[in-house]
A and B are shown apart, each in its own frame.
Chain A
């Protein structure tokens, strides 16, 4: 028999345990507040470096809560966490490199 160690069977057969949903709703409230805050920023700040930085920061925080809590990555072993995060850091590098490249194309034409 395969050992399903990742499942916590805390119940006897036939008995259904009480739901543990506090952390889920807390994450939902955080995500909603951050999205509402993004809307506020969208209509109160003028376009510029500060506005873009706030949006990027909010997005990273939201991604942290979705991946960490909803996808449960925060509670996995370290090697899995790094196996996911490391490739994404290289994507950020690619993004920054090609944004600069785009700026050069604009200057060149």
Chain B
């Protein structure tokens, strides 16, 4: 490159991209990851906005009208009454404890991910491998927890909920257990539908994140990034993994807390 010193130095207009420099001072891959994440934000927002719209269009639970809280398809349930089970502690009411543990697992796996990115900056191959493994473990634990949560939600409580419905012009009482896309013991069927769609869509993201993390771990272990001279792939997949954690923060608030 030194041989071309006789040519004039290119004049860069700051307002237009002339090539050679990185727009917004990030590499192509990272910029595209940001744009993908923005589009993914819209998808998750659409799901959460739909949740808000449908929830507001239903009767809210009101102690003055409905008396003491019980599951009913007449009003939207209180989330902490729905999510109160913890594995191995059958029959004990522990509202939001399990989902809280899941939240901490995901936040912690986000921390180990950012530690892997930091180790990559220092070209510390062993540390990148170690932290990627912890991140993969966190992701798998979260997925396992969510599988249990789904199984419990579908299976239902021991007592079930008695609903009244009109069959062939007659009022019939029937006990339903758990929830699926058409029936829901915890509240209106739409509540279960949104639970499956929102946590399922997020869980699919966690699953693809874990697959990507395993790929990154594999390529780190075989020294690909060490030979390439930088660990930018860890950063890019890290952006995705943090996004998955970020979405969970919103799902946790708007689905489980509010």
Contact = CB atoms under 8 A, between A and B. Distances in A.
Interface of A: 4-11, 16-17, 19-21, 24-25, 27-28, 31-32, 35, 38-39, 42-43, 47, 51-52, 55-56, 58-59, 62-63, 66-67, 69-71, 76-77, 79-80, 83-84, 87-88, 91, 94-95, 98-103, 105-106, 109
Contact of A98 (B34, B49, B124, B239): B49
B55 A87 contact: no
Most chain B CB neighbours (cut-off 10 Å) among A8, A39, A100: A39
The binding surface of chain B is classed by DSSP as helix
B103 interface: yes
Interface string B93-134: 001100010011001101101110011011110010000000
Nearest to A100: B56
A95 B4 CA distance: 56
B19 to A, nearest CB: 12
B54 A102 contact: yes
Given A35-B103, A56-B253, A106-B59, A28 B111 contact: yes
Given A35-B104, A55-B257, A102-B52, A5 B57 contact: no
A86 B119 CA distance: 32
The binding surface of chain A is classed by DSSP as helix
Nearest to B59: A106
Given A42-B80, A71-B243, 9 more contacts: A6-B30, A6-B232, A24-B111, A76-B25, A98-B50, A99-B56, A103-B56, A106-B59, A109-B57
9 contacts: A6-B26, A6-B30, A35-B103, A42-B96, A42-B257, A47-B78, A52-B258, A76-B24, A77-B25
Interface residues of B, number: 59
A59 B252 CA distance: 9
B12 interface: no
Interface of B: 22, 24-27, 30-31, 34, 38, 41-42, 45, 48-50, 52-59, 78, 80, 95-96, 100, 103-104, 107-108, 110-111, 113-115, 118-119, 121-124, 127, 229-230, 232, 238-239, 242-243, 245-246, 249-250, 253-254, 257-258
